[in-house]
A and B are shown apart, each in its own frame.
Chain A
């Protein structure tokens, strides 16, 4: 492991920490690119494109970036991380690799003081049905507001304002009726996002059997 250091706006990182933050697998090439405007659903930010023909399904490249969020108080700037592209090769990687890589990313981002991880959880009603992100990413703790009138025909969900509230009430409804949107993982300590992710990891990775 190279003894390099990466000086980011929110702290200094070792090579290993940098690799965890941006899910950079062994043997990858990484390109850095600044996006000074938002492009469709991705924020302006500093993006790292990860190229790895073994782990990442060809011809795709993973792309993750950091951005500064100014949605709150005028003088409060909090950095976030956006996952723009992320697609592992299911034939060349163990099924748990994505979950483990994301957990390492979130832990590193939390320790660095970042506020959230964002992405588009894609698929289902009215969208490309090859994607299952709309139902898998929330299981790892991602959340989003519901669209106006989205649960209007489901009286038992009338109290719900978010995807996580729907999941807590009727997860089968979300699998059937949920759909694509921008979602965020709240990196604050003790957030619902962490509760969901730790619970998910506990179910998916049997104790003592990690490599």
Chain B
């Protein structure tokens, strides 16, 4: 499976972890990609009312509030 990712721009990450630092390898292996069909199913599901689902919320703050 060819896999093309946009090039990553420079962040502060060093090429190698500092001495003593741990390395956590995080992989999407085994997780299927989201197809157009799955995305359409998600769109339909998002329009269903769910009493038990906790949706992401963010406070709306007043202008220049800090």
* Interface of A (DSSP majority class): mixed
Query: Given the known A-B contacts A38-B42, A43-B34, A87-B54, are A6 and B24 also in contact in the complex, defined by CB atoms under 8 Å?
Result: yes
Flag if B45 contacts A204 (CB, 8 Å).
no
Tell which of A12, A122, A135 touches B13, judged by Cβ atoms closer than 8 Å. Answer: A12
A4 touches B66 (CB 8 A): no
Q: A161: shortest Cβ distance to chain B, in Å?
A: 15
Check B26–A133 contact: CB distance below 8 A. Answer: no
Using known A-B contacts A46-B31, A75-B4, determine if residue A16 contacts B21 with beta carbons closer than 8 Å: no
Q: Which residues of B contact A203 (CB under 8 A)?
A: 63-64
The A/B interface has a contact count, at CB < 8 Å, of 225
Q: Is A42 an interface residue (CB 8 A)?
A: yes
Contact of A4 among B4, B8, B21, B65 (CB under 8 A): B21
Number of interface residues of B (CB under 8 A): 60
- B52: min CB distance to chain A, Å: 10
Instruction: Tell yes or no: A34 within 8 A of B by CB.
Output: yes
Chain B residues within 8 Å of A88, by CB: 58-59
Interface of B is mostly: loop
Q: How far is the CA of A32 from the CA of B36 in the complex (A)?
A: 26
Q: Which of A10, A38, A94 is in CB contact (< 8 Å) with B5?
A: A10
**Minimum C-beta distance from A26 to chain B (A):** 18
| Contact residue among B26, B31, B45 (Cβ-Cβ distance under 8 Å from A35) | B31
Asked if B58 and A112 make an inter-chain contact with CB atoms under 8 angstroms apart, the answer reads: no
Taking residues whose C-beta sits less than 8 angstroms from the other chain, chain A's interface range is 35 or more
- Is A158 in contact with chain B by the CB < 8 A criterion? no
Q: Is the CB of B17 within 8 A of A111?
A: no
Write out the residue numbers on chain A whose beta carbons fall within 8 Å of the beta carbon of B2. Answer: 75
Q: Which residues from 18 to 66 on chain B have a C-beta closer than 8 Å to any C-beta of chain A?
A: 18-28, 30-36, 38-39, 41-43, 45-51, 53-66
Q: 25 interchain pairs (CB within 8 A)?
A: A7-B25, A8-B26, A9-B28, A14-B13, A17-B12, A36-B31, A40-B50, A46-B31, A66-B28, A70-B33, A70-B36, A71-B39, A75-B4, A86-B57, A99-B59, A108-B11, A111-B10, A111-B11, A115-B6, A123-B55, A180-B47, A180-B55, A203-B64, A209-B66, A210-B66
